[in-house]
Amino acid sequence: MLTAALWGLIQGLTEFLPISSSGHLVLVPAIFGFEEPGLAASVMLHLGTLIAVVAYYRRDLLRLLHLRSDPEARRILMLLLVGTVPAAIIGLSLKGPIEAVFTKPWLVALALMVTGAVLLFSGLVGRGVRRLASGRWPDGLVVGLAQAFALLPGISRSGMTITAGMAQGFTRTEAARYAFLLSIPAIAGAGLLDGLEMADRGGFSWDLLVGMGVAAVVGYAAIWGLIRVLARVGLLPLALYCLGAGAAAYFLV
């Protein structure tokens, strides 16, 4: 049960903070000798973070029920559809090569440093003024391609998508809003694929519910905290973390 709670803590923090959940789930076991979470644990952890982001952005999701009368809801739906396509296509077509990276912790450590460099770049983008209500399909394509790049372990999905959104001129908080809404189909899709595989292989145990609960609570808190850090200081502290943690992990694994 303690192990499940630990993985829930790691997943909840790293899924939404731009420090790569997939990278940490590879590097932490490689450095400390922990057993990597199995397929069933992965499914439950994804479910926990899905609950967190749905709960936090429930008002935006409820707005999508009023597409006919709400122009901004239609614009958000368009951005979500366009932004989801690149990762779906690339993820399905390059599944094997991407999974191979998970077996090479040193590559994951390098990827984490790349994440840090991208987060440093976000500080040069400047303060945008656009809101999602002004979003266009090219914005969705750019952010979607950034999300596809984050299929590699060590490359942070939230880091790439927030930075891409800021580069398109969205405010920091609006870029984060788009990034986290876009994570909902991504997390749900990953959980569904793993869940179908788990149905064949089994491996579920009740202590995984603890991990799911911890991931949900910690994930919600991570979103809340990141939005406030973004508004005040940007992503520099997390960029320095990724650069330092990636460099340390490279020499330790």
**Looking at residue 251, what is its pLDDT?**
93
The model's pLDDT over 136-178, given as tens digits with 9 standing for 90+, comes to 999 999 999 999 999 999 999 999 999 999 999 999 999 999 9
Residue 2 has pLDDT above 90, yes or no: no
The model's pLDDT over 30-82, given as tens digits with 9 standing for 90+, comes to 888 877 777 677 778 888 999 999 999 999 999 998 888 888 899 999 999 99
**Which residue has better confidence, 23 or 206?**
23
Q: Bridge partners of 170?
A: 130
Tokens of residue 156, six digits: 């942070």
CA torsion angle 28 31 32 38 (round to 10): 50
- Give the structural domain span for 113: 2-252
Residues 6 or more apart whose CB falls under 8 angstroms from that of 181 comprise: 53, 57, 60, 61, 76, 80
**Which residue has better confidence, 63 or 189?**
63
**Looking at residue 62, what is its pLDDT?**
93
**Looking at residue 119, what is its pLDDT?**
95
Total domains, the chain: 1
**Which residue has better confidence, 6 or 202?**
6
Q: Bridge partners of 130?
A: 170
**Looking at residue 200, what is its pLDDT?**
61
